[in-house]
Amino acid sequence: MQFVSDGYIKTLGIPVRNGRGLSATDVEQSRKVALVNETLAIKHFGAENPIGRAVRLERLATLPHPIPDPTFEVIGVVADVANQGVRDRPLPHVYVPSTLSGRAQPAFLIRTSAEPMRLAEAVRQQIRAGDRMVAPGPGRTLENDLQIGFYAQPRFSLIVLGMFAATGVVLVALGVYGVLAYTVSQQTRQIAIRMALGGDRGDVLRLVFRQGLRVLGVGILAGLAAGAATNRLLVNQLRNVSPHDPVTLAGAVAIVLAIGLLACWVPARRAMRVEPMVALRHE
């Protein structure tokens, strides 16, 4: 629940879905009217039109400056905003006129196309010009508040998960390279015989890549199976995407496949350079 003025919804750009927003008269006369978000309208009114219906906010009767009979007429429905965090679904939300609160320290929200902090001192001067007894704070940007209060924890989680993902990609490359390098070294004599009998370097390249794709295929299938079983643990870290999103899974497979094929290239080149007589003599 928020105490707001008539310009709050417009300043933040929150669309009015049904009815109307707060007017200057509503605020000046401290009318008991309210705006509700879509979540509240659906949860408490269902398919019925909430305009003209009443909501009762019992907690307002227990404030330091209590509001007797805190029953409000719904005059508008506004779009949902993220009121609990970027990853959480919006909770029911009510906006009522700020003049009902008796709050001693109001906050001003100012929208500008210029650099916000450049206007901070000018705004403070205007406030002091209106009332010398008011001591305005230093001011801060809404973006900064969101960065600290909403995005800091998700960003940290993203960094940690990104580090694990990068480590996984490196392990894929090292693992595939190590397995193929060892396999090629064990097949030096076989490769030499193939080339001595007329096999060309393209045959050797295809042989090594077939082995690499076999390893990658097994690894990707195992990874997808493990992901299907464990991705549900990441639900709390995701927003606007499913833990089983096909585009994300396809992208992950493509990245692993590309890294794996790149890791195949070095042992494949080494195998192509095997001189049959030298390899047979070594064996």
| Predicted confidence (pLDDT) per residue in 86-140, tens digit | 767 899 999 999 988 866 678 888 888 888 888 888 888 888 888 888 888 888 8
Question: What is the tally of structural domains in the chain?
Answer: 2
> Rounded mean pLDDT of 206-217?
81
Q: Is residue 55 part of a domain?
A: yes
Q: Is residue 130 part of a domain?
A: no
**Residue 131's CB: how many other CB atoms inside 10 A?**
9
Rounded to two decimals, what is the model's pTM? 0.60
In terms of domains, do 103 and 8 share one? Answer: yes
Separation CA 100–CA 31 (nearest Å): 8
Q: Are 90 and 84 in contact (CB under 8 A)?
A: yes
Report CA-CA distances (Å) from 17 to 35, 49, 51, 75, 91.
10, 12, 11, 11, 17
Structure tokens at 159: 């960094």
**Residue 164's CB: how many other CB atoms inside 10 A?**
10
In terms of domains, do 262 and 162 share one? Answer: yes
In terms of domains, do 62 and 173 share one? Answer: no
Q: Quick check: 277 pLDDT over 70?
A: no
Across 63-72, 185-194, 251-260, which has the greatest mean pLDDT? 63-72
Which residues neighbour 177 within 8 Å (Cβ) at sequence distance 6 or greater? 263, 264, 266, 267
Residue 77 confidence class, pLDDT cut points 50, 70, 90:
very high
One DSSP character per residue, 202-267 reads HHHHHHHHHHHHHHHHHHHHHHHHHHHHHGGGGGGG-SSS-TT-HHHHHHHHHHHHHHHHHHHHHH
Q: Is residue 101 part of a domain?
A: yes
Asked which of 109, 128, 143 is the last residue of a domain, the reply is: 109
N- to C-terminal Cα distance for the chain?
81
Mean pLDDT taken over the chain: 83
How does pLDDT run across 147-203, given as a tens digit for each residue? 777 777 778 878 888 898 889 888 877 887 787 777 776 776 677 677 677 777 777
In terms of domains, do 100 and 165 share one? Answer: no
**Residue 50's CB: how many other CB atoms inside 10 A?**
22
pLDDT for residue 155: 80
Separation CA 165–CA 81 (nearest Å): 31
Number of helical (H) and strand (E) elements in the chain, helices listed first: 10, 6
Separation CA 226–CA 228 (nearest Å): 5
Separation CA 190–CA 24 (nearest Å): 88
In terms of domains, do 95 and 165 share one? Answer: no
Residue 49 confidence class, pLDDT cut points 50, 70, 90:
very high
Provide the residue range defining the domain that includes 103. Answer: 2-109
Which residues neighbour 133 within 8 Å (Cβ) at sequence distance 6 or greater? none
Q: Quick check: 80 pLDDT over 90?
A: yes
In terms of domains, do 61 and 178 share one? Answer: no
Asked which of 41, 74, 109 is the last residue of a domain, the reply is: 109
